[in-house]
Amino acid sequence: MNKFLKTLMVIAGLFALPGAVFATEIPIPNQSEWAAAKKTVELKNGVKMAYNEMGDTSGKPLLLIHGLTDNSRTWSLMVPFLKGKYHIYAIDLRGHGMTSAPECCYTISDFAYDAKLFLDAMNIDKADVVGHSLGSFTTQGLAARYPEKVNKVVLVSTAITGGSGPGGWLWDNVMPVKEPFDPNSKFMMEWYWSPKPVDQTFIKHMREESAAVPLHVWKGAVYDVDGGTLAHKTSLITAPTMIFWGDQDPLMNAAAQEPLKKAFPKARYEVFPGFGHNMFWEDPQRAASLIDDFLK
């Protein structure tokens, strides 16, 4: 065997070694590919977590955490606009998407602990974290309880209280339900309402996947998060913080913003005038640009 062939065999063997690490660019799936592109990992607490891995494997770790009854697809419109060098992990929280749905429990502490265990499972010492809505509460919980795992945080459509509890719109629409949600029902149409146009193929997937979330997950998360508060723990968050708010957001409305600003007086605060709760669907390019600028 000549030296050239021997060299090729050595190189091939290196790529086959389990411990060998080579930088690669993991492509971003399109809407039809998104669910099938998910990977899974079993966390130390038994939760089998699904996630999409994307971007430059030699880049900075970036953890993306979705909102209530969404899943990792929520970031699919925005991530193509990210220009920074990131190794992106977009997770499905417990009970959401393709992650396992234990009977209990669905508190912010549970979601935050899962996120911490996911970073451990991926051998990530520290990550930048972007969280939307429930994901923003999870991000606050992660940054407060496990500050050693967090570099910078971006809180999208956030607050320091989860909602109004009994008597509120979300509680009164979810807690009495006894059958799985119809993705085309009035409630689901309102749940995915945006004041600006959003890609309809994406929204169709989101409604269908949200309606498929088990009722015990909907109710468990609403019961434990809606009406809850993070006000007594925000002082534990030391990570540099940026906040996005759409001024047409019916869930995290204007009244929720002053307490939020007082809780995070040093945060960079970005308003999206005329946009709603999901402004990073409505204007994914601006959201990505702001994140790039903040994390660079």
N residues, the chain: 296
pLDDT in tens, 124-145: 999 999 999 999 999 999 999 9
* Candidate list 76, 133, 136, 157, residue with the active-site label: 133
pLDDT digits (tens, 9 = 90+) for 133-183: 999 999 999 999 999 999 999 999 999 987 778 999 999 999 999 999 999
Q: Pick the catalytic residue: 66, 87, 205, 277?
A: 277
pLDDT per residue rounded down to tens, the chain (296 residues): 455 444 444 444 444 444 445 779 999 999 999 999 999 999 999 999 999 999 999 999 999 999 999 999 999 999 999 999 999 999 999 999 999 999 999 999 999 999 999 999 999 999 999 999 999 999 999 999 999 999 999 999 999 987 778 999 999 999 999 999 999 999 999 999 999 999 999 999 999 999 999 999 999 999 998 877 888 899 999 999 999 999 999 999 999 999 999 999 999 999 999 999 999 999 999 999 999 999 99
Predicted pLDDT at 7 = 44
Q: Are strands 48-56 and 60-65 parallel, antiparallel or unpaired?
A: unpaired
DSSP states along 272-294: ETT--TTHHHHSHHHHHHHHHHH
CA distances from 220 to 6, 11, 86, 216, 223 (A): 59, 51, 33, 6, 5
Residue 133 is among the residues annotated as catalytic for this protein = yes
Q: Which of 37, 41, 58 is nearest to 50 (CA)?
A: 41
